[in-house]
Amino acid sequence: MKNFKRIIIGMVALVFFLTGTQGISAELKGPVKFTFASMPLGSSWYVYAATLAQMMKKVLPENSAIDVLPQSGGIGNPLLVAQGKADVGLSNLVTAKWASEGLYLYQGKQVKNIRALAGGLNYVFAVVIFREDFIKKTGLDSIEKIVAKKHPARFICKTPGSLSPPVAEIIFSVYGVKMEDFKVWGGSSTFASPEAITGTIRDGRADFTIDVVPPGQPAVSEMAMTADVRFLSLTDKERAKLNERGLHNIVMAPDSFKGQKNEVETVTPGTVLICNENVSEELAYVITKTICEGKEELVRAHASIKPFDPPTAWTPEKTGIPLHPGAIKFYKEKGWMK
């Protein structure tokens, strides 16, 4: 009798699963293929994209294919999506908004054909990280002091396409300098992948970095565990300059990374999932439904997704750009959007 009950429960569960899966994929009439812009390996966005791709494969029609692009980032992805080189992509809220309105880095490159699917995916922080050994040797524990002394510091940052380089340039502009000035002073300014930055800082071949990451980002987590580093708060002047560009003040809690015991006053650019306006309403609906109803699976893959709140993922303050009609259909279906 017990075995019979187990069989019945199992069959009910299987029927429920299959019905739910068919309910999602029924929106699509045949196999779909699309590309997903993320960031290089070692980044949190690559983990998000790869996980969502696996979740999508469970609900898409047979023979569907998703190509996750391990490249670009917050700056490049809106352009990749707008140009049709990627159908879907992760973006910072501010960069999606800048691109849509043709502001700052996107002057002369305005793209009006990108749409939002879900926003507020996580808390993302601008972090300034110094090697403790550098601070002890030089007595310089801020960017302002490095600039005042014109010290030959060795700066390293993510490659262009990520939001990290422009955030660094905005911070440096507070003191009237650019990345190239470190080279003029006898130091260095280089770009590298997340893993290479970690190795370079750990090996003592760079003194500090500036990044834009969520808590637990793989490469920065490894850096915090394998190198003696200090996370610095942004100064009032630095935050004010970043506020002018649409990044909002936020506090990174203690222990967001190993050894980071104090609160870090910083800014956040937000994270939003975007797509090209030409993505079909059916596919946009399925992607939005999958990410919103699959939050727990995403959290298991990367804990930084935990703040994601699907019922408010459609709101303008979390998306920055117009929603895709397929996303609107999902949010209204759930009763989250009127």
pLDDT in tens, the chain (338 residues): 434 333 333 333 333 333 333 445 557 878 999 999 999 888 899 999 999 999 999 999 999 999 999 988 999 999 999 999 999 999 999 999 999 999 999 999 999 999 999 999 999 999 999 999 999 999 999 999 999 999 999 999 999 989 999 999 999 999 999 999 999 999 999 999 999 999 999 999 999 999 999 998 999 999 999 999 999 999 999 999 999 999 999 999 999 999 999 999 999 999 999 999 999 999 999 999 999 999 999 999 999 999 999 999 999 999 999 999 999 999 999 999 99
Domains of the chain: 2-121+270-334 (3.40.190.10), 125-268 (3.40.190.10)
Residue 281 buriedness (CB in 10 A; 0-12 / 13-18 / 19+): middle
Check residue 318 and give its pLDDT. 96
Check residue 11 and give its pLDDT. 33
What 75-80 contacts at long range (C-beta under 8 Å, 24+ apart), as own/partner pairs, is 75/105, 75/160, 75/161, 75/162, 75/163, 75/165, 75/166, 76/37, 76/160, 76/161, 76/162, 77/37, 77/38, 77/161, 77/274, 78/106, 78/111, 78/114, 78/274, 79/106, 79/109, 79/111, 80/37
Q: Provide the H-helix boundaries in the chain.
A: 2-25, 44-59, 76-82, 93-101, 132-138, 143-149, 164-173, 180-184, 194-202, 218-226, 236-244, 281-293, 295-301, 316-319, 325-334
Task: Give the 3-state secondary structure of residue 124.
Answer: coil
Check residue 121 and give its pLDDT. 96
Residue 9 Cα to chain centre, angstroms: 40
Check residue 7 and give its pLDDT. 33
Using CA atoms, how far apart are residues 304 and 215, in angstroms rounded to an integer?
6
Check residue 238 and give its pLDDT. 98
Apex 126 CA angle, 123 and 128, nearest 5: 140
Give the global pTM: 0.84
Check residue 17 and give its pLDDT. 35
Check residue 177 and give its pLDDT. 98
DSSP codes of every residue in 13-55: HHHHHHHHHHHHHTT-SS--EEEEE---TTSHHHHHHHHHHHH
Check residue 3 and give its pLDDT. 40
